[in-house]
Amino acid sequence: MFCRRKEGSKTKKMVPPQKSPSPKILQPLNQVHLERKWPSLSIPALALAELEQDETHPLLSAHLKFHLLHRALKLGEHAGDNRKYGGDLARLMNRMIQSGVRVRFIDNPNGQDHWVRAQYLAKLKIIEINRASLDQLRRFFERSGDSVREDDIIALHLYHEWFHHLETTRLGRVDLRLPRAVKKRWGPITFRQPIRRTREIAAHAFTQKAMNLNWSPLLLDYLLLLTEKGWSVSEIRDHFAEMNDRYKALMQSSQSDPDENPIIPDT
pLDDT reported for residue 228: 92
Tens-place pLDDT, residues 39-85:
999 999 999 999 999 999 999 999 999 999 999 999 999 999 999 99
**To 10 degrees, the CA torsion angle through 171, 175, 176, 179?**
130
pLDDT reported for residue 116: 77
Q: What percent of the chain has pLDDT over 90?
A: 77
String of DSSP letters for 181-206: EEEEEETTEEEEE--THHHHHHHHHH
Under the banding of pLDDT at 50, 70 and 90, the label for residue 11 is very low
Reduced to 3 states (helix: H, G, I; strand: E, B; else coil), residue 154 is helix
pLDDT reported for residue 5: 39
- What is the average per-residue pLDDT within 3-14? 45
Tens-place pLDDT, residues 200-218:
999 999 999 999 999 999 9
Neighbours of 27 (CB within 10 A): 13
Is residue 171 pLDDT above 70, yes or no? yes
pLDDT reported for residue 192: 87
What does the domain layout of the chain look like in residue ranges? 37-256
